[in-house]
Amino acid sequence: MKALLATLAVIEFGAGLGMLAIPSFVGEILLGSPFGTAIEPVIARVAGIALLALAVACWLLRNEGGSRAARGMVGAMLLYNGGGTGVLLYAGPGLGLYGTGFWPAVLVHAVMAVWCLLSLLQKPGRIPASE
């Protein structure tokens, strides 16, 4: 679980920083369309802050083994990555929004969702009572 949470932290930190600093560029790379209103970069920046928060939580829990907190975080990231895969697949084939980073983003979200699911399906290790 440590490698999974550390990987999630790094990926989400990079994505969150990109969405916070250069939201229009990230949107265009991902969906192939520049933002059209002033509202869109604000929403993207709020999403960027949320991704940074997820990254921090994953990073802080990476050494917690199979604790309930770590498993809860992995469950939350399963929801995020599974949902992200679904939303992107709706945006691409459903709405025709494709940027150069579209399929790599779909692949990363799908792989991370599967990794989260497999991690949650493993029997949690025993945690000593003193911890």
User: Is 126 buried (19+), middle (13-18) or exposed (0-12) by CB count in 10 A?
Assistant: exposed
In whole angstroms, give the CA distance from residue 22 to residue 76: 26
pLDDT in tens, 38-57: 999 999 999 999 999 999 99
pTM, entire model: 0.89
pLDDT in tens, 98-123: 999 999 999 999 999 999 999 999 98
96: left (phi over 0), alpha (psi -120 to 50) or beta: left
Candidates 23, 30, 47, 20; CA nearest to 107 is 30
**Number of residues assigned to the chain:** 131
Q: Is the pLDDT of residue 130 over 80?
A: no
State mean pLDDT over 72-97: 97
Q: How many alpha carbons lie under 13 Å from residue 75 in its C-beta half-sphere?
A: 9
